[in-house]
Structure 1
């Protein structure tokens, strides 16, 4: 089982994204410790502008973990990365058009 701490705050969409990516890329049971930074002035000062921050059970932190390249490298170094899951995830992202994209007379529009 993987034990991870995520420094977060209520309504953090990047935190939700990060948790989902970790679950998809590890395919292992994860025990999450969610630390609400807004409840403590020291945590807020330290993590408030950096969330989400992910930490392993040794306290080694990952900032900007919602960026796939940084997250996959961090997981790989710990032996937790499911490389087939990463390949499947990157294949589905690379060729996909942006959501809501459409073309009119050869011009691409979003929305």
Structure 2
């Protein structure tokens, strides 16, 4: 079990994005303790513009972990990265469809949609 601390605040969509990435990219279950920074002036001063911030058991912190490449490097350095999950996510981020084929964009009603 991977145990982490997540410094966050209510309604932080980037924190939710980070949690989703953690669940999909770690090779074992993740348990995190959420620390609400808005209830503590010292935490607000330290993390207010940096959230979400992840911290491992040794106190090593990761800012902007919602950026997949940063999170992957941090997880890999700790031996927690699921390599296959990262390959799959990278293909999706690079715009590849099923079978490795690039998804075509379509314009409908003046809006751009990625193909399926």
TM-score (norm 2): 0.83
Shift of 1:110: 4.0
Corresponding residue of 2:30: 30
Alignment map for 1:89-108 (pairs within 5 Å): 89-95=89-95, 102-103=106-107
What residue in structure 2 maps to residue 7 of structure 1?
7
Residue 70 (structure 1) aligns with:
70
Please list the CA deviations of residues 51-109 of structure 1 after superposition, one character each: whole Å capped at 9, or x if unmatched: 00000010000001111110000000000000000000111121159xxx6327xxx84
1:88 aligns with 2:88: yes
CA distance in 2, matches of 1:36, 1:96: 37
Query: Which residue pairs with 2:101 in the alignment?
Result: none
| Inter-partner Cα distance in structure 2 for 1:96 and 1:102 | 15
* Total equivalences in the alignment: 105
Which whole-Å CA distance do the structure 2 matches of 1:96 and 1:15 have between them?
26
Q: Which runs of 5+ in 2 are unaligned?
A: 98-104
| RMSD, aligned α-carbons | 1.9
- d(CA) in 2 for partners of 1:57 and 1:49? 22
Partner of 1:44: 44
Q: CA deviation at 1:27?
A: 3.6
5+ residue gaps, structure 1 = none
